[in-house]
Chains A and B, each alone.
Chain A
Amino acid sequence: MSGGSCTEGKEHEKDGENLAAWLLGIKTLKIQPYHLPSLGPHDVKVRVKALGICGSDIHHFKTMRCANFIVKKPMVIGHECAGIIEEVGSQVKSLAVGDRVALEPGISCRQCNLCKDGRYNLCPEMKFFGSPPTNGSLANKVVHPANLCFKLPDNVSLEEGAMCEPLSVGVHACRRANVGPETNVLIMGAGPIGLVTLLAARAFGAPRIVIVDVDECRLSIAKNLGADETIQVSTNIQDVSEEVVKIQNAMGSGIDVSFDCVGFDKTTSTALNATRSGGKVCLIGLAKSEMTAPLTPAAAREVDVIGIFRYRNTWPLCIEFLKTGKIDVKPLITHRFGFSQQEVEDAFETSARGGSAIKVMFNL
């Protein structure tokens, strides 16, 4: 389990003491010792080698909360990671010391109805790296259940392993929305989540993908990643009808599935209006709590709204996509930093700025 304690940082880097990046307060990260729990029979100890920063990490960093999760005491940040096995618990058979693995962050209870039903991402007892009060994984080492560590093929790097986490969101969304060789896809937002959704939709066989954003630079990245069309849109809600027309023209045929990777009134409204009768809108972006959207006209065309929360059972598929080259996540990694106090601060600054920074990656 990824529990552990924060000891005041008097003895840095002595005798291989484990260090981690702790969130102590608003915009305050400090590298301090992180005492790991002892290894359970089904656990492994992983030396973390690559870790990406997520929008939710930034949100915790800036506000000490994310939706209903509140950081009440110092917490290790970070959850998108991969590393090398250093030690395995007594019952661990499928992994060995030296194995390169990508980590699925969330430990579910395995006993509730949702878990037993396979929808473990919705487990109310979920313990998720970097979601308070569970410590994250921006650390030298973490302890984690072996069954949530997935061995990387030789041709998949540790950074690509860390990218499995955001990619999983796109993969889970494509599954829930049933993306396939006949589904024309619209993606609202070309940020990290919009882009992994684009990659996943292509891998699932979507014949045509149109992506929209306010930022030209992000749209050009999307084009390089294989979007069929990109459209620059505004932040002005009055522009919805006009943009829907542009989007439908760009698609050239009915839009079967729209992914709202942003989650504002405007993006959801656009998606609901642009999607064909009988189609689906997948709400991935979790921006606002209350939304004002034209739900009724959409429901009257049987456009369904599908909710997406994290992912489940996606690592094997993500790794397979990366191994075969069906998906290439490397272009998404735009900035790299090492694991030092200064670099941790710079990295978060860079990620928070957005713009040309897509995925900021730590190499430990």
Chain B
Amino acid sequence: MGKGGMSHGGAGEDKDGEEENMAAWLVGINTLKIQAFKLPPLGPHDVRVRMKAVGICGSDVHYLRTMRCADFVVKEPMVIGHECAGIIEEVGSEVKDLVPGDRVALEPGISCWRCDLCKEGRYNLCPEMKFFATPPVHGSLANQVVHPADLCFKLPDNVSLEEGAMCEPLSVGVHACRRANIGPETNVLVMGAGPIGLVTLLAARAFGAPRIVIVDVDDHRLSVAKELGADGIIKVSTNIQDVAEEVVQIHKAMGAGIDVSFDCAGFDKTMSTALSATRAGGKVCLVGMGHSEMTVPLTPAAAREVDVVGIFRYKNTWPLCLEFIRSGKIDVKRLITHRFGFSQKEVEEAFETSAGGGNAIKVMFNL
């Protein structure tokens, strides 16, 4: 588990001459500090992983800026970060499938495995979920973490540790494509070409979507989307009055009915556009979490049996993500735009860069 204690003091060795584990702690608004992170003892089904690659997520930035995310509030210092991969250092007594030296990607969330949702396989919705860097659970931007072995997935030889860390955001796109039943006949619209829109684009292509149109307000992000294989890109505005006109443009660009729309932004405007643009009997997948209350044309959509499918994180996606990356069906490398090392200064700069958005898509730590 990613729990542990915070001890103050410098990096380097502790009094027993062992390496002291360091982590990036969120101690207050806009305040990250690299400090010691004491790991719990290794349980029989756990492994200890030396972190090598950790990506920054929008939710990490949100916690940095506000010390909260929706109903989750950071009440005490917490280690940040959750998109990660590393190398096994030690395995628990009952661990059979992994050995020290194995390169693994980590699925962040430990569910209870006992509730109805878990037993049904919808463990992403487990009310007792312990998820890296969702308070009060410590994250993984650290030298090492302890984690259940069954949530550590061995990387094929041709998949790098950075690509391993990218499995986490990619999983969101994969889970969304599954829930929306993307396949060789589903024409897809993606609202937003940020990190989540882009992994959704990549996943939709891998699931066989024949035509994908993506929209955003930012020209640069649209050009990245084009590079990544979008069939059509459209620059849209932030002005809700423009919805009707943009729906027309989107339909023209698709050239056929839109079967599934992914709202990877989650604003009234993007959701309204998606609901209006999707064909009768289609689906709108709400992936982005913008505002809590939304004002949208829900009824006209319902009257065309356009369903709204909710997406929360992912379940059982790592094996598929790794297979997509291994086979080259998905190439995530282009999404990694900035790299930083693990020092106080670089941690601060990395978060600043990620928070700045724009050209920064995925900011990656190499430890």
Contacts and interface: CB of A to CB of B under 8 A. Distances in A.
B286 A119 contact: no
A295 B70 contact: no
B158 interface: no
A294 B310 contact: no
For A67, A114, A287, A295, the residue with the greatest tally of chain B CB atoms inside 10 Å of its CB is: A295
A68 to B, nearest CB: 8
B299 A302 contact: no
A291 B300 CA distance: 10
B307 A296 contact: no
A294 B293 contact: yes
Interface string A273-289: 00001100001001111
Interface in B279-310: 280-281, 286, 289-310
Contacts of A293: 293-294, 296, 298
A295 B296 contact: yes
A300 B292 CA distance: 10
B305 A308 contact: yes
Contact of B303 (A114, A291, A299, A307): A307
Given A298-B310, A307-B305, 4 more contacts: A290-B297, A291-B297, A294-B292, A296-B293
22 contacts: A119-B305, A122-B281, A176-B305, A286-B303, A289-B297, A289-B299, A290-B297, A291-B296, A291-B297, A293-B293, A294-B294, A295-B308, A296-B286, A298-B310, A299-B311, A300-B310, A302-B310, A302-B312, A305-B302, A305-B307, A309-B302, A309-B305
Contacts, number: 123
A114 B257 CA distance: 11
Counting contact residues on chain A (CB < 8 A from B), the size range is 35 or more
A297 B289 CA distance: 8
B310 A309 contact: no
B271 interface: yes
B299 A301 contact: no
Contacts of B179: 302
B220 interface: no
A305 B257 CA distance: 21
A136 to B, nearest CB: 19
Contact of A303 (B280, B297, B304, B310): B310
B310 A299 contact: yes
A304 interface: yes
A117 to B, nearest CB: 8
A242 to B, nearest CB: 18
Contact of A67 (B300, B306, B312): B300
